[in-house]
Structure 1
Amino acid sequence: MSNYEIMFIIDSILEDDKKEASIETVKGIIAADGEVGKVDVWGMRKLAYPINKKNDGYYVVIEFTGSTELPKELDRRLRISDNVIRHIIINKDEK
Structure 2
Amino acid sequence: MNKYEVVIMFYPNIEEEKRVQAFERLKKIIEDNGTVNKVDEWGMRKLAYEIDYFKEAFYYLVEFEAEPDTVNEFSRVSKILDPVMRHMVVRLDK
Answer yes or no: same fold by TM over 0.5.
yes
Residue 5 of structure 1 aligns with which residue? 5
Q: How does 1:39-58 map to 2 (within 5 A)?
A: 39-58=39-58
Alpha-carbon distance, 1:93 to partner: 2.3
Q: How does 1:2-81 map to 2 (within 5 A)?
A: 2-81=2-81
Instruction: Tell me if structure 1 keeps the 8 A contact 2:22–2:81.
Output: no
Alpha-carbon distance, 1:68 to partner: 1.5
Identity %, equivalent residues: 36
> How well do the aligned residues superpose, as a CA RMSD in angstroms?
1.0
Residue 93 of structure 1 aligns with which residue? 93
Q: Structure 1 segments of 4 or more deviating over 2 A?
A: none
Q: How many residues align?
A: 94
Give unmatched runs, 5+ long, in structure 1.
Answer: none
Q: For 1:92 and 1:33, how far apart are their aligned partners in 2?
A: 18
Give unmatched runs, 5+ long, in structure 2.
Answer: none
Q: For 1:23 and 1:17, how far apart are their aligned partners in 2?
A: 10
TM-score between both structures, scaled by the size of structure 2:
0.94
Alpha-carbon distance, 1:14 to partner: 1.0
